[in-house]
Amino acid sequence: MKKFLVFLLLSIILFYGAHFMFERNDPSKGEPRRIEVGMGMTVKEFIERNHLEMGPWKPQQYIVDVDDIGDWMPIQFTDNWIALRLVEGEQSFELPPGRTLHVSQRAGVINGIALRPFAQPRPLDEMHDYVVELLKMLETKGWHPSSPIKVPSKPEDFDSGGKSLFAELTSSSGSILQMNLRDYGLAPKQESFILKFDPTHKPSEESRTYLLQVTVDRGVSDISYGDLIYPRRIFETGDVTQPLPLRFWIEDPNWTPEKAGMVPTTPEERANAESSKWKMPTK
């Protein structure tokens, strides 16, 4: 009997030990991390303003791997809990906390963001009511709709993939804000992981609960590869095809080909519109 009780006790310890070892730490159970970002902000300022770390990526941490991320690659926080404030002058606004934040950049300058607010997908009526209030707030702040907006209110308002891109607004500086709703059950597998890792998930059945995504892009005033990215690759390594680590643009965010002593290329020297507009001077 004593041996059986010892065995039972060890089994209980092993069971709960394994449970706590593999139980997912849900960041939405704690306080959200406030993060501010704006179009045209340098990644250097983004890191400093938000007290982010630089170093190898770690799950659920606020670390930017500046040696692994290239000169055009996005910065991603994929299982966190983030209260985002978009810095856009008098048209700045905040969103409810969300689990994922995608920050696009070129040559160390931020040109886009994407956030999914809320900890879980919500029923359509709840999401509809929230979106209506969000749109009212944005328009009050001076964001102007690019076309008539119809917020989805029934499943028939979505396409066959369960998605609806229903709003586009612009700011006075030219930033473009878009919103889309997506049926959680029909979302691609990689998108299902933003809420809870489920290796058995199959995007095939409607859930009638919905994910909201808010994106903001810089618009037409973007940095071309030929203006900065390719010239700096040529200057630093001589290889225009090899992306530079983002660290180069953090350590010297104001680098320009003129300051580096490069000279303009002629139209005949450019293979296409995206070719480098600068080259090293002949010796």
Q: Is 73 left (phi over 0), alpha (psi -120 to 50) or beta?
A: beta
At residue 246, the pLDDT reads: 98
**Structure tokens belonging to residue 13:** 């310890």
pLDDT digits (tens, 9 = 90+) for 167-212: 999 999 999 999 999 998 887 655 544 555 455 555 556 678 999 9
CB 206 within 8 A of CB 155: yes
Residue among 95, 102, 124, 85 at smallest CA distance from 209: 124
**For the chain, what is the mean pLDDT?**
88
Has residue 78 got a pLDDT over 80? yes
The model's pTM is: 0.86
Measured CA to CA, the distance from residue 266 to residue 201 in angstroms comes to 53
| Cβ 208 vs Cβ 124: under 8 Å | yes
Q: Which pLDDT value is given to residue 192?
A: 44
Q: Give the mean pLDDT of 48-69.
A: 97
Task: Fill in the DSSP letter of residue 156.
Answer: G
Where does the pLDDT of residue 16 fall: very low under 50, low under 70, confident under 90, or very high at 90 and above?
A: very low
